[in-house]
Amino acid sequence: MSRNPRPKQKDIWRSTTVLSVRRGGTVALGADGQVTFNNTVMKSDTRKVRRVLDGSMLVGFAGSTADAFALLERFETKAKDYPGNITRAATELARDWRTDRALRRLEALMIVANKERTLLLSGNGDVVQPTDGIVGIGSGGQYATAAARALDRHSDLSATEIVREGLKIAAEIDVFTNESIIIEELPSDE
């Protein structure tokens, strides 16, 4: 009697919740620090938010850490190629990410922000600017976004405080998100 071998489960890295809020002249970008491999917490204090271009831009990433760092480096190069034009840099990266054979395999999402804009980038070629200045990605991204929108509408909290509270709420719901939160902020020109 022949038995079908049990299908091999693909190892899954789940690694974060990232949230950005633009409010009151400031853009804040934060992330939790948890990285998990299947059902195991591998690290609880990973830094998933970075300042680039002498601190003038913020980048947050969710997904495979190695892939995210590769994309972060490429984004920084594109941002240097198109100084002051975050939308063009993001669009060029998204195009490369979608069409380049090696980049297409990278599994991550990114949020990039400067004083004027916040953008979500994906490997599908998406470059999306949220209408309300609030966007979340990663395993708890939807929870953090919903919490941030409610706090934005019904509180006087600052952008940074909304990011912190939104990430804390996501950590209460999503097992792949923790409360080891890092937040960076930039004043905006709005």
Helix (H) or strand (E) holding 94: helix 86-99
118 annotated active-site: no
Q: For 179, left (φ over 0), alpha (ψ -120 to 50), or beta?
A: alpha
* Set 16, 36, 118, 177: catalytic member: 16
Of the candidates 166, 161, 170, 128, the one whose C-alpha atom is nearest the C-alpha of residue 16 is 170
Q: Which residues are catalytic?
A: 16
